[in-house]
Amino acid sequence: MSIPPKNLQNNFNHKIAIIFKQKELIVKLNNNLAETRDRLLTRLISGKLSVEDLDIQFPPSMREELE
């Protein structure tokens, strides 16, 4: 079995480590977003959080659906 040179192994390991750190960060951000969504949704459904006074701008594709 052929083994790549040490410098190639180190280069690969460095690049993979960066990818794993990015993945870890994305997972943390995703968990944070899910928790925020769940908390906001609970407050919206219960009426504790009102959206009546918000100036919500819908994208053009959604405006057509609302009309």
Residue 65 pLDDT greater than 70, yes or no = no
How confident is the model over 11-29, as a mean pLDDT?
Answer: 99
pTM, rounded to two decimals:
0.65
* Structure token digits, residue 14: 């460095």
* Structure token digits, residue 38: 């769940």
CA-CA distances (angstroms) from residue 24 to 9, 21, 39, 42, 47? 22, 5, 23, 27, 35
pLDDT attached to residue 63: 73
Confirm if 44 and 51 have CB atoms less than 8 A apart. Answer: yes
Work out the number of other CB atoms within 10 angstroms of the CB of residue 40.
11
Closest CA to 4 of 12, 56, 16, 40: 12
